[in-house]
């Protein structure tokens, strides 16, 4: 039992023109579009929001898109300076508008139950459990996801289709033979839901016929186009999507993957190198387990219930005396030599003991007698 005071929770704000998906009902992050002619006008709403929650003893986690960061960064700096506080944390995310909208609402749902630093840390962890991207006809205007020169030229080929992913990994691939399955870097835990947003003149039929069978979602919800969708994808011919797990324990399992430590300056629980509140540089905990990234497939959703220990783990249940497969067995050790007729305490000729655990060379079991000198007799 501890007498430490409870750590403050947080309120989540999203500083961009990114409407809510409405998936979590009334639980949403507070949105601020930051419109206006000058900085004071742009930051007025966010400043009042931050002042209110800080006076209530909360911290503020301010999210914004990394690819649209100029106004949010200025608004956050303005609010921190006006309120003379470091209780406003900033988190820049390099994901698509639809994925950022879902993530912000999920953080707002978790914020009352976890410390403020953990909420900010989850902003970097949650995209690793998404599958977010776009079904595109051209990638020549795409600048937020790396593409190759070959993919740029392929955009001029008629009827070409690309799958561009921003989470859990940034990747672009050409869909071949109407089969997008080889392009998909991983699957969320089942059951899977998909949210889709697209321009009004863009058809969803091809996406629905080819992409959704590869994921087998339990539901597919169509939403209005995100205002910043064309800015992120660099085109008007796209179908933006985000697939996520609808399992009741999915968010709880994600929270348990975060291993925070106290910030060296403000003592807030954080898991990254830089504290989002005070900006101090922190050392990650020793022995942190590796985080699964996009190049590592997610664990299967269904298992047989068996627990098989990998062979490369030290202390496995395998017999240490049995050689690995494909490697010849070592030669059998010679039997222990007979005790030599030497006075106690005198070492053998090699300077070590003659037994099987001696430190010197092993004595031969049978030593042939030396022939007698020429002309002599034995004895």
Q: Where residue 159 falls among pLDDT bands split at 50, 70, 90?
A: confident
Check pLDDT > 90 for residue 347.
no
Residues 189-230: tens digit of each pLDDT: 999 999 999 999 888 999 999 999 999 999 999 999 999 999
3-state secondary structure 165-187: EEECCCEEEECECCECHHHCCCC
Which residues contact residue 94 at a Cβ distance below 8 angstroms, ignoring those fewer than 6 apart?
Answer: 65, 66, 67, 144, 166
C-alpha closest to that of 182 among 163, 209, 205:
163
| Rounded-to-integer distance, Cα 195 and Cα 60, Å | 27
**pLDDT at 358 (0 to 100):** 40
Residues 305-335: tens digit of each pLDDT: 444 444 434 444 444 444 444 444 445 445 4
| Rounded-to-integer distance, Cα 280 and Cα 224, Å | 40
Mean per-residue pLDDT, 10-24: 95
| Rounded-to-integer distance, Cα 1 and Cα 4, Å | 9
Fold for the domain defined by 10-270: Hypothetical Protein Tm841; Chain: A;domain 3 (3.30.1180)
Q: Mean pLDDT of all residues in the chain?
A: 80
Give me the sign of the Cα torsion angle 232, 234, 239, 243. negative
Q: Reduced to 3 states, what is the DSSP secondary structure of residue 209?
A: helix
Question: What would the two tokens of residue 216 be?
Answer: 């087998």
Q: Where residue 7 falls among pLDDT bands split at 50, 70, 90?
A: low
Give the H or E element holding residue 205. Answer: helix 205-210
Separation of first and last alpha carbons in the chain = 86
C-alpha closest to that of 81 among 107, 108, 50:
50
**pLDDT at 302 (0 to 100):** 46
**pLDDT at 280 (0 to 100):** 87
Mean per-residue pLDDT, 171-186: 91
Residues 43-97: tens digit of each pLDDT: 999 999 999 999 999 999 999 999 999 999 999 999 999 999 999 999 999 999 9
Mean per-residue pLDDT, 242-255: 93
Lowest pLDDT segment from 67-81, 165-179, 276-290: 276-290
Q: Where residue 344 falls among pLDDT bands split at 50, 70, 90?
A: very low
- Return the percentage of the chain with pLDDT > 90, whole number: 59
Question: What would the two tokens of residue 100 be?
Answer: 């950022």
- Please compute, for residue 10, the number of CA atoms within 13 A of its CA located in the half-sphere on the CB side: 32
**pLDDT at 297 (0 to 100):** 43
Which residues contact residue 55 at a Cβ distance below 8 angstroms, ignoring those fewer than 6 apart?
Answer: none
Mean per-residue pLDDT, 112-133: 94
Lowest pLDDT segment from 78-82, 101-105, 362-366: 362-366
DSSP label of 301? S
Helical H segments across 56-179, by residue range: 70-83, 97-110, 116-125, 149-154
| Rounded-to-integer distance, Cα 162 and Cα 139, Å | 7
Question: What would the two tokens of residue 43 be?
Answer: 């930051």
**pLDDT at 54 (0 to 100):** 95
Query: Would you put residue 55 in left (φ > 0), alpha (ψ -120 to 50) or beta?
Result: alpha
Note the pTM of the prediction, 2 decimals. Answer: 0.73
């Amino acid at each position: 039992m501890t007498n430490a005071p409870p750590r403050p929770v947080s309120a989540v704000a999203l500083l961009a023109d990114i409407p809510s998906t409405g998936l979590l009902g009334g639980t949403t992050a507070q949105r601020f579009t930051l419109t206006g002619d000058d900085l004071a006008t742009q930051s007025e709403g966010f400043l009042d929001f931050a002042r209110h929650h800080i006076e209530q003893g909360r911290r503020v986690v301010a999210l914004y898109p990394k690819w649209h960061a100029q106004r949010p960064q200025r608004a956050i700096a303005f609010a921190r300076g006006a309120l003379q506080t470091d209780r406003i944390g900033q988190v820049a995310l390099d994901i698509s508008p639809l994925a950022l909208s879902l993530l912000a609402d999920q953080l707002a749902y978790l914020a009352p139950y976890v410390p403020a630093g953990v909420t900010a840390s989850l902003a970097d962890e949650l995209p690793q459990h998404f599958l977010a991207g776009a079904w595109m006809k051209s990638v020549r205007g795409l600048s937020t996801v790396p593409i190759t020169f070959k993919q740029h030229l392929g955009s001029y080929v008629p009827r070409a289709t690309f799958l561009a992913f921003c989470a859990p990994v940034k990747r672009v691939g050409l869909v071949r033979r109407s089969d997008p399955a080889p392009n998909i870097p991983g699957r969320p835990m089942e059951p899977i839901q998909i949210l889709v947003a697209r321009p009004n003149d863009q058809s969803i039929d091809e996406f629905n016929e080819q992409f959704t069978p590869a994921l087998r979602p339990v539901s597919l919800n169509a939403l209005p186009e995100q205002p910043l969708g064309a800015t992120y994808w660099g085109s008007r011919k796209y179908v933006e999507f985000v697939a996520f797990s609808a399992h009741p324990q999915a968010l709880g399992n994600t929270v348990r993957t975060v291993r925070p430590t106290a910030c060296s300056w403000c003592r807030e629980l954080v898991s990254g190198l830089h504290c989002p509140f005070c900006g101090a540089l922190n050392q990650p905990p020793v022995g942190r387990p590796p985080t699964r990234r996009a190049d590592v497939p997610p664990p299967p959703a269904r298992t047989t219930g068996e627990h098989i220990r990998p062979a490369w783990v030290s202390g496995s249940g395998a017999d240490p005396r049995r050689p690995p497969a494909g490697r010849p067995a070592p030669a059998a050790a010679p039997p222990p030599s007979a005790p030599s007729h030497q006075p106690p305490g005198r070492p053998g000729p090699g300077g070590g003991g003659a037994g099987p655990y001696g430190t010197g060379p092993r004595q031969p079991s049978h030593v042939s007698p030396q022939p007698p000198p020429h002309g002599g007799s034995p004895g």
